[in-house]
Amino acid sequence: MRTEAHHREKETTKEQLIGQFRTIGLKSGDAVLVHSSYSSIGKVVGGPDALIDALLEVVGPEGHVMFPAFDFRKDQPPFDPAVSPTTMGAIPETARKRATFLRSDLPANSVIVSGPHAAWIAENHASRGHLRPGDPIDRLAMLGGYVMLLGVSFRSNTTVHIGECIGDLPHRRISKDGPYVMMHHVDGDRGPYNLSGGPECSEAFGAVEGIMRERNHIVDGYIGVAPTKLMRGKDIISDTVDLIHRAPWALYCNNPECAHCVRNRRIVLEEYLERKRHESTFP
């Protein structure tokens, strides 16, 4: 009987990865945002570099590859896109060091992207905000790009957060009152950055996976031995908005210790009941 450990001992070559990426649906000219867990793939001949090379070969010179380059260290020095590390794992950190990937300018929550429109995708990230319409992840989606969850769960699907904004969930609304923090910009300046309206808990994002599967918007496969999901960024956003319209509380987790979700569920329920009262009074 073949065990999980046995499968993880099997080595996957770059050529096999290319075949797997094509089998799941990627092709020349595509754009894809990849959320990944390198350890889930098993042994890869050539390491993370081989996987990145395979992705770049599949999408070709006209395609785009993006990785999150977030930095979740508590005490971050001034942000320098050329040297500041990412805490998103071996694959994004390896790609970050390549000259062919351009990094956006939002400290703590930057992305790296390659391809002919990389500069347009990444430009002015700090002024456009994080995980909002018009940010780099949204721009990739609007190009018809895919999102790949490579060995990670749906809670890693950050594109859902853009749907939260469009669906007007209360925690994504920006307040002029802040809170503000001082942000180190890439040009060396420091200035206030409004933290309000940022993304919070993602534990309930499986609800979006449910509606996407109802609509056959997810393709399942394997990269190495890692279960992998591929879906269009536009579908993630529109399906998230539809879910919010059905049940605005659906993206808040049920953990009573999660202060974010407890507060946000109370607010959306109050707003939902008020809207229903208004509708019954003024048909």
Q: What is the pLDDT of residues 1-46, one digit of tens each?
A: 444 554 556 799 999 999 999 999 999 999 999 999 999 999 999 9
- CA separation for the pair 171, 240 (Å, rounded): 15
Q: Look at residue 223 and tell me if it is in a domain.
A: yes
Residue 47 has pLDDT above 90, yes or no: yes
In DSSP notation, 26-69 reads --TT-EEEEEE-GGGG-EETTHHHHHHHHHHHHH-TT-EEEEEE
Q: How many domains does the chain have?
A: 1
| Secondary structure letter of residue 114 according to DSSP | E
Is residue 233 in a domain? yes
- Tell me which of 24 and 124 has the higher pLDDT: 24
Domain that holds residue 86: 4-253
Residue 8 main-chain phi, psi, to 5 deg? -70, -20
The encoded tokens of residue 163 equal 């749907």
pLDDT at 246 over 60: yes
Indicate if the pLDDT at residue 128 is higher than 80: yes
**Tokens 């809670």 appear where?**
155
Task: Say which residues have a Cβ less than 8 Å from residue 194's Cβ, sequence separation at least 6.
Answer: 174, 175, 176, 178, 179, 180
pLDDT of res. 177: 76
The chain-wide mean pLDDT, for the chain, equals 90
Average pLDDT score over residue span 148-154: 98
> Does residue 281 belong to any structural domain of this protein?
no
| Structure token digits, residue 266 | 């109370």
Say what percent of the chain tops pLDDT 70: 88
pTM of the model: 0.90
In a domain, 282, yes or no: no
Instruction: Please tell me the predicted confidence (pLDDT) of residue 183.
Output: 66
Residues 6+ away with beta carbon under 8 Å from 279: none
Which whole-number Å values give the CA distances from 37 to 40, 67, 80, 135, 228, in the listed order?
6, 12, 25, 24, 10
CB 150 within 8 A of CB 55: no
Question: Is residue 33 a part of any domain in this protein?
Answer: yes
Residue type, 45: V
276 assigned to some structural domain: no
Identify whether 32 is part of a domain.
Answer: yes
Evaluate whether residue 275 is within a structural domain. no
